[in-house]
Amino acid sequence: MTYLNHISEAIGNTPLVKLNNVTAGVKATILAKVEYFNPGNSVKDRMAVKMIEDAEKAGLLKPGGTIIEGTSGNTGMGLALAAIAKGYKCIFTLSDKQSKEKMDILRAVGAEVRVCPTNVAPDHPDSYYSVAKRLNAEIPNSFYPNQYDNLSNTAAHYEGTGPEIWNQTDGKITHFVTGVGTGGTISGIAKFLKEQNADVKSIGIDTYGSVFKKYKETGIFDENEIYAYATEGIGEDILPKNVDFDLIDTFIKVTDKDAALMTRRLAKEEGLFVGWSCGSAVHGALEYARENNLTEDDVLVVLLPDHGTRYLAKIYNDEWMKAQGYLD
């Protein structure tokens, strides 16, 4: 008989899918790494399991323990799947800008969800970072993975996602594009790809209201760059340890509106029912390909991190889109 011992064993080996219709005017081959094929429907499954396994090996997470994490939703889902398999409890803190679908999904898999305000500084006691840290200090036998600074995040992609992309493209990849939030995805994958071929370019997708692009270009952490934005899962008002700026060749900023519209195009024109930051990544990838005159010899892989079911009440809702000024 062929079967998995637990759903978490289904993580990885996601497909590459060629984009055909949103790529008008682009000569390069554009391939999407579709991460919603992971059982938790996002790329975050990979590093969530890695963080838990590494914590167990280090003695930081013991039987019957509680996993406490600040998340935009997807990491929480991956942690919850690992927790179910291993018998842990979960408490997740989310900012109130995250979609209701994400919160409902986390509760459905047995997690406790604490909703925190978005528009406060990271070190404010009510921020979702601070609340997670405080709960970790208060609850006995608890573990705070801290996906932002936990280098198991990067390692998961160096060991898994990077080799998958290299093998799937038969080593022909020339450019890699992904959104940057915690930084583990781009840092792990870029490290592996550049070790195979130093000429592979890695392009990080940032959002307006985030500090990454200016920090990469100037080395300055500019608080004036920080303001509220709507896109979920990318950009930050902190500098996570998982963001290795030396491995990222350039950043491209994409607006909330451009990201939302491209996400809907991916569903209608490519049959890829993906999440909001997927639109950010593809919009930025196509902008890069056009501005840098990529040719037929170039193979650009863009990672699509999650599934559209996380955003039904937002970007896939016409009335919500109109209320934001994204649709006429």
- Is pLDDT of 215 > 90? yes
Length, in residues, of the chain: 328
**Portion of the chain with pLDDT greater than 70, in percent:** 100
For the segment 216-233, the average pLDDT, to the nearest whole number, is 95
Residue 197 and residue 220 in one domain? yes
Is the Cα torsion angle 275, 277, 278, 279 positive or negative in sign? positive
Q: Which residue has the tokens 């209201």?
A: 209
What angle in degrees, to the nearest 10, is found between the helix axes of 276-291 and 256-270? 90
27 is catalytic: no
- Is pLDDT of 114 > 90? yes
DSSP 37: G
Backbone angles phi, psi at 204, to 5 degrees: -95, 135
Measuring CA to CA, which residue among 140, 311, 285, 300 is closest to residue 205?
285
Residue 238 falls in which region: left (phi positive, over 0), alpha (psi -120 to 50) or beta? beta
CATH of the domain at 188: 3.40.50.1100
Q: Identify whether the C-beta of residue 47 lies closer than 8 Å to the C-beta of residue 319.
A: no
Residue 153 lies in a domain: no
For the segment 144-152, the average pLDDT, to the nearest whole number, is 96
Q: Which of 116, 143, 170 is the last residue of a domain?
A: 143
**What is the structure's pLDDT at 89?**
97
What angle in degrees, to the nearest 10, is found between the helix axes of 100-108 and 74-86? 0
Measuring CA to CA, which residue among 3, 4, 12, 93 is closest to residue 45?
12
Residue 117 and residue 231 in one domain? no
Residue 16 and residue 70 in one domain? no
CA distance 3 to 325: 48
- Is pLDDT of 258 > 90? yes
**What is the structure's pLDDT at 99?**
87
Express each pLDDT in 47-100 by its tens digit.
Answer: 999 999 999 999 999 999 999 999 988 999 999 999 999 999 999 999 998 888
**Which residues, 6+ apart, have CB-to-CB distance to 299 below 8 Å?**
28, 29, 31, 169, 172, 173, 174, 175
Express each pLDDT in 32-49 by its tens digit.
Answer: 999 999 999 999 999 999
**What is the structure's pLDDT at 287?**
98
Q: Identify whether the C-beta of residue 10 lies closer than 8 Å to the C-beta of residue 37.
A: no
Residue 179 and residue 123 in one domain? no
Backbone angles phi, psi at 10, to 5 degrees: -85, 0
Residue 111 and residue 87 in one domain? yes
The one catalytic residue among 33, 44, 194, 216: 44
Residue 33 and residue 60 in one domain? no
Residue 1 lies in a domain: no
Instruction: Give the pLDDT band (50/70/90) at residue 263.
Output: very high
- Is pLDDT of 262 > 90? yes
**What is the structure's pLDDT at 32?**
98
Least confident of 118-122, 187-191, 236-240, 251-255: 118-122
**What is the structure's pLDDT at 74?**
92
**What is the structure's pLDDT at 163?**
98
Residue 119 and residue 245 in one domain? no
Express each pLDDT in 151-181 by its tens digit.
Answer: 999 999 999 999 999 999 999 999 999 999 9
Instruction: Give the pLDDT band (50/70/90) at residue 127.
Output: very high
Q: Which residue has the tokens 């921020």?
A: 127
Range of the domain at 222: 7-37+160-323
Q: Which of 108, 143, 178 is the last residue of a domain?
A: 143
Residue 89 and residue 180 in one domain? no
- Is pLDDT of 119 > 90? no
Residue 32 and residue 52 in one domain? no
Write b or e for each residue in 15-26: b if 16 or more Cβ atoms lie within 10 A of its Cβ, otherwise e: eebebeebbeeb
Residue 181 and residue 311 in one domain? yes
Residue 187 and residue 274 in one domain? yes
Express each pLDDT in 265-304 by its tens digit.
Answer: 999 999 999 999 999 999 999 999 999 999 999 999 999 9
Do the bridges between strand 16-18 and strand 250-254 make them parallel or antiparallel, or are there none, so unpaired?
Answer: unpaired
For the segment 186-214, the average pLDDT, to the nearest whole number, is 98
Q: What is the largest CA-CA distance in the chain?
A: 59
Residue 114 and residue 72 in one domain? yes
DSSP 24: T
Measuring CA to CA, which residue among 118, 115, 120, 119 is closest to residue 132?
115
**Number of independent structural domains in the chain:** 2
**Portion of the chain with pLDDT greater than 90, in percent:** 95
CA distance 276 to 33: 15
